[in-house]
Amino acid sequence: MNKAVKTLVAALVATLALASSAGASVEIRGLDTSGYPDVRLTVVSSKAVATKPALAENGRVISGIEAQNLGQAKAVVLALDRSQSMTGGSLSDAVAAARAFVDIKAAGDRLGLIAFGETASEQSALSSTTGDLVTSLEAMQVDTHGGTALYDAVIQAAHALRSDPLAGRVIVLLTDGKNVGSGATLDDAVIAAHKAGAVVYAVGINGPQFDPAPLETLADETGGRYVLASTSARLSAIYSAIASELARSWRISYITSARPGEQVALQASLVGAGSASTKLHVANAEPVSTHTFLPSFLFSTAGTILIGLIVGGLGLAVLANLASARKGSWVQARLAPHIGAGTSKKGMGARERLSAVATVLSATESVFGSLNVWRRLTRMLERADMPLKTVELVWAMLGLGIGFGLIFSLAGAGVLTVFVAILFGGALPYGFVWLKVRRRLAAFEAQLPDLLVTIAASLKAGHSFKQGLKAAMEEGQEPASGEFRRVLTQSSLGRPMDEALKEMSDRLGSANFEFVITAVTIQRQVGGSLAQLFDMVADTVRQRQQFARKVRSLTAMGRMSAYVLVGLPIFLAGVLTLLNSSYMSPLWHTSTGKALVAFGLISIGIGSLMLKKIVSFKG
């Protein structure tokens, strides 16, 4: 009976120690402005409240606050001192208190264990199951070497919490001595706790070597509580009181409107519990860097005026260009009946009317026109049959790349994101032209067998080869009719037919048409029935296309499997991020998560190449 009374009294004393401000029903603790303009604090009430607190600065209600109820799901790391000073009943009492804390945890809590003596080591990783943690507690023994790595234990606990998906994070720290042998400092421990958004509850066991100052600092800076136990026998009651206080605590994060150097009155109120107020001072806080490529001058008043003038000048230039183009179109329309100009030239030359732009385009083409890459872009534009010059395509790629990069840079994106945005913007014009080439080539390939049959029929009727091409031009559709019209025009101007057809083959990039031109060239050199040759070539081309379509249908399942295997991880990552961003946060915002993302993308790329090799066929 006496033992039960003593335990009840100890619990009451511990509860009073944790409720030092008994007159206030709501308490604000641990104002953290290290992440300015983001402010963190802890709100503790006299009773558990399900509705999140309301905050106000200088009487203005703050919207968009993030609040985590520490009485519900949270991540807790128990950091226990097992140094040589804990020899005897201190360590066993600490283990018993930790066991009691584990037994009364909330259903959604995740618990972990770190023991520290000469060094700090993780005994049990954060988990919603407590089997490993209890086993580690039962097996814990006093360290055989001297030292108390107190600050290392706090930093290690903060790192473990930082990668945990739960937003509510708590460190329950227990020691009976002072820091000896840590590689970090007290400031490092506080910074690590701030970065993890962790609340530190520091429990000290009074003794000859005990130093309360570091524990008080850790608790005050993080919004937790420091409790002194006169003896280790009181630890179970203190841990129970900590669990009770966590059930009545909220961890708040919001964006402050206060500027560096200002002080505002901060009020917190809980429905049915009351309110409290304090002073928020952000004198030493600095705005978060945006990490942009732009010079700081552009963010000043003069820079804003300069950007406005540039944008306004570009807008006037666009309006002048449109007006000039419209006028030129009207003049050309009036002169067209008298000079025989076709409608295809209507509006051409609008870009050259600005002499400065024309000079830049001409200079760019003269410098880079001899490069192989430039020639390949020119050939691609010819195959796409687009009324666009190579230099214009290059400047469009450059302009879109820089534009996307500036947009993401101004939005505060990181260097890697800006670089990817530049590549994406630059690739958009190239991708559009490439799609045009593919569509035009596919249309020509579909028309080719019928065109060859038409030419063969014309030759059987006694017409010449040139007349056969003219018949194919008249009966065909674009793009074949336009290409044959160009060949006939070149031939009528004196160019040999073989050269004109060879250039058409190079311009189209069709392997089947190249096969046709090779066969025709050989026949024209050695002689023979050209009509019979065209019939045979038409049948061969048709069989090649049928075989290619058959292979494509047989590999359709493999291609679909490749699309699913490649797209499924990316799709799931996006959906999970939208549905539960906190769950996916460690993957995007931790070094380990970023390494896993990079490894996954590399693996997907290698797998894509392998799958493409399996289902690809060149006939």
Return the number of other C-beta atoms located less than 10 Å from residue 88's C-beta.
Answer: 10
383-425 confidence digits (pLDDT tens): 787 777 888 888 888 888 888 888 877 766 667 777 888 888 8
Could you give the 3-state DSSP secondary structure of residue 271? coil
What distance in Å separates the CA atoms of residue 229 and residue 203, rounded to the nearest whole number?
7
Give mean pLDDT, residues 422-435: 86
Rounded-to-integer distance, Cα 509 and Cα 62, Å: 64
Beta bridge partners of residue 270, listed in sequence order: 274
137 vs 292, higher pLDDT: 137
Going across the sheet that includes 54-57, the strands are 60-61, 54-57, 263-270, 274-281
3-state class (DSSP) for residue 250: strand
- C-alpha distances in Å from residue 365, one per residue of 368, 411, 469: 5, 34, 36
The mean-pLDDT minimum among 77-91, 324-338, 563-577 falls in 324-338
Q: What residues have CB less than 8 Å from 315, skipping those under 6 apart? A: none
| Residues paired with residue 281 on neighbouring β-strands, in sequence order | 263
* Residue 122 contacts residue 160 (beta carbons within 8 Å): yes
Q: What is the residue-averaged pLDDT of the chain?
A: 79
Among 8-22, 242-256, 294-308, whose mean pLDDT is lowest? Answer: 8-22
* Residues forming beta bridges with residue 266, ordered by sequence position: 57, 278
The pLDDT of residue 291? 47
| Residue 300 pLDDT | 60
Query: pTM of the predicted model, to two decimals?
Result: 0.48
For 511-553, write each residue's pLDDT tens digit: 777 877 887 778 777 766 777 777 787 888 788 878 888 888 8
Beta strands (DSSP E) in 37-109 are 38-45, 54-57, 60-61, 66-69, 75-81
| Lowest mean pLDDT segment, chosen from 256-260, 296-300, 519-523 | 296-300
DSSP letters for 468-515 = HHHHHHHH--TTHHHHHHHHHHHHHTT--HHHHHHHHHHHHT-HHHHH
Question: Which residue type occupies 152?
Answer: D
Place of tokens 């700090």: 120
pLDDT for residue 11 is more than 50: no
Contact at 8 Å (CB) between 202 and 219?
yes
Does the pLDDT value for residue 32 go beyond 90?
no
